A and B are shown apart, each in its own frame.
Chain A
Amino acid sequence: MKAFLTLTILLVALITTYAASVWNLPKQTLGTQLDPLPALMLVVALRAPIATIALLAIFASLTQSALSSNPLGLSLLPLYALGFTVHINSHNLSHYRTGSRFALGAAAGAIIPLMSLALLFLINKEPLIGWFSLWQWAAGILSSGLMALIFSPLIGWLDKSVEEQPLAAPFDTTTRIIRYHRFHE
């Protein structure tokens, strides 16, 4: 497990969740709260090991519910399910182009609220929903797509900055290091 990268990802989750809670402008202008976690989980699931994905789902859901009336850890299962699915299919998902990153982020932003709502109904809670919730859902999808575009280079930069990078190929071997993403660009 990339320990430093995991720690910084958890810190990013904490700060972005806090910022989304404090920043009132989207609520005042669009009538919706932004959730950075689906986009962050998507980006993390594409490049980090399963342990980091599990830790992010646990930490982010527990800290987010501490700021909310949601039951404790409501988004734990939805976030992990998203991360797990994306991680095991990461080689089949095209995520190197802006459009595909946006689409994946948007899909993540669409799935997580639906799964969370389904869980709320399963545990007999009565969340506040109405026709306007469709608009909030649409705005959440759009914002999640945009956030995926921001998180992708950020997590990439953090990975390069906090983790020790592999050295260049040893002189006595003919092995060539082929960067995986070159095949896709």
Chain B
Amino acid sequence: MSNRPYLIATVAVALLALICFTLSPEGSAQAKRVFGSFYTPLFSAQKTAQTTSDYLANQAIPHKTLLKENTELKRQNEILELKLRELSNLSRENRILRQQLKMQPKLEWNPRLSRIVGRDPSNWWRSIQIDLGSSDGVTIDTPVMANGGLIGRVQETYLHRSRVALLGDPICRISATIAETKESGILSSSGGTIFDPTLAELLYLPANTKARAGDKIYTSGFGEVFPRGIHIGKILAVETTSGELTTKASVKLAINPSLLNEVWVLMP
């Protein structure tokens, strides 16, 4: 048996591994985009199958039910339009006041519905794939929400897909504020996150924090990655240690992303 093929294969694999591990973050993201494109036909087929099944499911709904739903939606729409008009007036007033106070204009976010098309294949990261990509205007760090609560931010974008790092992932650390005490900390993963995806930790709270279990947590808006005031979750317990300069609190996140099929992407 000749050893040459074994030697060539081993050297090739070792060299490639070395290249992969020494690539710059941009180079690595670019390479991931290239290799991610192999999945494009599979994701397209999945989207087509989903659209077809949605269409067939809609066709199967009785006409009477649809009419009833339509009437209900029209009524809800009228109420929401009234509320929207009221909010538009408030928004205009807010903009004028900010101009008069020479404050920076507030960014207006445009939410877009997106479907979850995949999850991280490894157990030690928490990320999802959504079906909106750079061609739809999604950029890195775009906030992603569901049912009124923040779930994460866009970590990588492809042409028609994006990968979202979820809250609780070691990569996704965000600044958060406690509504009741106005204290801020950094939301990060905890040892329990791997068991329960709705558990996280709020780090770097003041040592003499007044935060209590049940206090609500919102995005702080620091860094301007996330808009201020998006609901994140509530405090489960505050862990004070004597002699420490900071305190940490365990947090129950508002949304469990494992149970979601669709999310809202907040486009700038």
Contact = CB atoms under 8 A, between A and B. Distances in A.
Interface string A18-52: 10111010011001110100000000000001110
B55 interface: no
Interface string B164-197: 0100111100000000000000000101111100
Nearest to A21: B118
Interface residues of B, number: 49
A173 interface: no
B168 to A, nearest CB: 8
A68 interface: yes
Given A33-B123, A62-B31, A128 B170 contact: yes
A168 interface: no
B39 A18 contact: yes
A51 B9 contact: yes
B112 interface: no
B38 to A, nearest CB: 5
B210 interface: no
Interface string A114-143: 001100100100111111110010001000
A73 B6 CA distance: 20
A138 to B, nearest CB: 12
B123 A54 contact: no
B154 to A, nearest CB: 12
Given A31-B195, A128-B193, A130-B195, A70 B258 contact: no
Contacts of B259: 28
A151 interface: no
Given A51-B9, A128-B124, A15 B171 contact: no
Interface stretch (A76-84, A95-103, A159-167, A174-182): A76-84
B155 A69 contact: yes
A17 B39 CA distance: 10
A65 B258 contact: no
A53 B171 contact: no
A104 B234 CA distance: 46
A69 B171 contact: yes
B42 A24 contact: no
Interface in A57-112: 57-58, 62-73, 76-77, 80, 84, 88
B31 A57 contact: no
B61 interface: no
Nearest to B116: A24
Contacts of B35: 62-63, 65-66
Contacts of A14: 38-39, 42
A98 to B, nearest CB: 27
A117 B155 CA distance: 21
Contacts of A17: 121
Contact of A126 (B17, B46, B170): B170
A72 B10 contact: no
Interface of A: 14-15, 17-18, 20-22, 24, 27-28, 31-33, 35, 49-51, 53-54, 57-58, 62-73, 76-77, 80, 84, 88, 113, 116-117, 120, 123, 126-133, 136, 140
30 contacts: A17-B121, A18-B118, A21-B118, A21-B120, A21-B121, A35-B122, A50-B5, A50-B9, A57-B13, A63-B36, A63-B38, A66-B32, A67-B36, A68-B121, A68-B122, A69-B120, A69-B163, A70-B122, A71-B21, A71-B28, A73-B16, A73-B20, A76-B13, A116-B122, A127-B125, A128-B125, A130-B193, A130-B194, A131-B191, A132-B195
